[in-house]
Amino acid sequence: MLRPKVPTMPQPTGLITLPAVVEPTTAIQRTPAVPVPTSAPAPARPTVQLTPGAVVALVGSGTAVVLVVGAVLVSMLLAVAITGASVAICALVIRSLINGEAKRR
């Protein structure tokens, strides 16, 4: 009932063209043109000049980002630790209940 059907390769229906034969050609040497003198290239980007206020703002924002990311990571670590401890305590309680029922019978 559920047997896979193996596809068969159909016969080609169009004309088949043979690959063209590539014949080697000779390279022609040309004399180089007279170089055109160029001016010095302009810098691609202007240089960034930081003022003391901008440096203080960058340091302050970087510190704030580090503190926020650190607080988030520490809170996630604490959540995992608390969850693990509570699961361990639940496992101990369930085990003691099961052992207490087995001793009473």
* Angle (CA) 48 49 54, round 5°: 110
pLDDT in tens, 55-81: 999 999 999 999 999 999 999 999 999
The H-or-E segment that residue 56 falls in is helix 52-104
Does 53 score more than 90 pLDDT?
A: yes
Q: What is the pTM of this model?
A: 0.45
Average pLDDT over residues 95-103: 87
